């Protein structure tokens, strides 16, 4: 695993954007696995800036997002489709028809999940998967459980995740209780993984994920088994790894 320690959020965002831009420059028709949450927003802004300057183009890139709330249409301002449009896709030269987010409004959830995995397979898998991390160690919306998920699936969100994401909604009651998420198979089969993390509140879960036992109770711990992980974080978020002597 490569660990890149940055002084602050802005530096972390630029480094993460560098890794993503390098992937796109080296393979212009690559498949990017993308993530939501507040952490990648700075990297998305940087990528948009570089694209507008002509340093990188996304015209042949295809993207698959990790997850979507169940029951929110793409037009809802808290849906992850809306997030991706407003934070990245609307600002770059990507063909939106080549951007995929699970359909949270699908009536047949199982069919939607199966089709999502089939599409990723048809694409030949993901070249670079971007990940954030939840305070409980979730990646995508793969919450702590007694087993690791496999394919794209519909999950019940934990109270911790509902609490954490309530800040984006008018009321905690408005936060959807379920989500569709890519499973561990597609994430682990990605050729490269880039995790971004920021803030002291993530230090303990990062320590557990990368220095603790590999367990579905800490979903991100499975990344210890991935051969090509780059972790880009600010000093506060990586403090636990420093204590463990990893950086």
**Helix H or strand E segment including 187:** helix 184-189
Residue 54 CB, shortest distance to ligand GLP, in Å, is: 29
Choosing from 68, 112, 127, 136, the catalytic residue is: 136
Residue 57 CB, shortest distance to ligand GLP, in Å, is: 26
Residues 24-43 that bind ligand GLP (CB under 6 A): 35-39
- Among residues 193, 117, 181, 197, which one has the least CA distance to residue 149? 181
Other beta carbons less than 10 A from residue 81's beta carbon = 25
Position 215 contacts ligand GLP (CB under 6 A): no
**Taking the CA atoms of the chain, what radius of gyration do you get in angstroms?**
17
Per the annotation, the verdict on 67 as an active-site residue is yes
Choosing from 55, 138, 226, 234, the catalytic residue is: 138
Note whether 180 and 112 are within 8 A (CB). yes
Question: Count of residues binding ligand GLP (CB under 6 A)?
Answer: 14
Per the annotation, the verdict on 76 as an active-site residue is no
- Among residues 74, 102, 87, which one has the least CA distance to residue 183? 102
Residues 180-209 that bind ligand GLP (CB under 6 A): none
Residue 33 CB, shortest distance to ligand GLP, in Å, is: 11
The 58-97 site mask, x for binding ligand GLP (CB under 6 A), equals: --------xx------------------------------
Please give the Cα distance from 80 to 21 (Å, whole number): 22
Choosing from 67, 68, 127, 234, the catalytic residue is: 67
Residue 161 CB, shortest distance to ligand GLP, in Å, is: 6
Residue 244 CB, shortest distance to ligand GLP, in Å, is: 22
Note whether 168 and 78 are within 8 A (CB). yes
Residues 140-179 that bind ligand GLP (CB under 6 A): 140-141, 161, 165
Please give the Cα distance from 28 to 233 (Å, whole number): 26
Q: Number of C-alpha atoms within 13 angstroms, CB side, residue 134?
A: 22
Per the annotation, the verdict on 143 as an active-site residue is yes
Residue 216 tokens, joined: 């579905």
Q: Are strands 128-131 and 31-34 parallel, antiparallel or unpaired?
A: parallel
Q: Report the catalytic residues.
A: 67, 136, 138, 143
Provide the binding-site residues for ligand GLP, judged by CB under 6 A: 35-39, 66-67, 132-134, 140-141, 161, 165
């Amino acid at each position: 695993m490569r660990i890149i320690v940055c002084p602050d959020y802005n530096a972390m965002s630029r480094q993460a954007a560098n890794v993503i831009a390098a992937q796109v420059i080296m393979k212009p028709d690559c498949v990017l696995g993308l993530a939501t949450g507040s952490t990648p927003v700075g990297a998305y802004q940087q990528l948009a800036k570089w694209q507008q300057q002509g340093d990188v183009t996304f015209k042949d890139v295809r993207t698959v997002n990790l997850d979507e709330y169940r029951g929110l249409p793409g037009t809802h301002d808290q849906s992850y489709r809306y997030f991706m449009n407003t934070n990245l896709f609307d600002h770059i030269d990507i063909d939106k028809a080549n951007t995929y987010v699970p359909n949270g409004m699908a009536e047949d959830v199982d069919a939607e999940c199966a089709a999502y995995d089939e599409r990723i397979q048809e694409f030949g898998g993901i070249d670079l998967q971007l990940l954030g991390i939840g305070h409980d160690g979730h990646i995508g919306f793969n919450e702590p459980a007694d087993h690791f998920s496999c394919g794209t699936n519909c999950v019940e969100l934990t109270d911790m995740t509902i609490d954490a994401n309530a800040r984006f909604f008018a009321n905690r009651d408005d936060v959807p209780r379920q989500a569709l998420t890519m499973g561990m198979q597609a994430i682990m089969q990605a050729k490269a993984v880039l995790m971004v993390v920021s803030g002291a509140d993530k230090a303990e879960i990062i320590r557990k994920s990368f220095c603790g036992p590999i367990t579905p109770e800490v979903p991100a711990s499975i990344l210890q088994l991935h051969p090509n992980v780059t972790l880009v974080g600010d000093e506060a978020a990586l403090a636990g790894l420093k204590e463990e002597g990893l950086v």
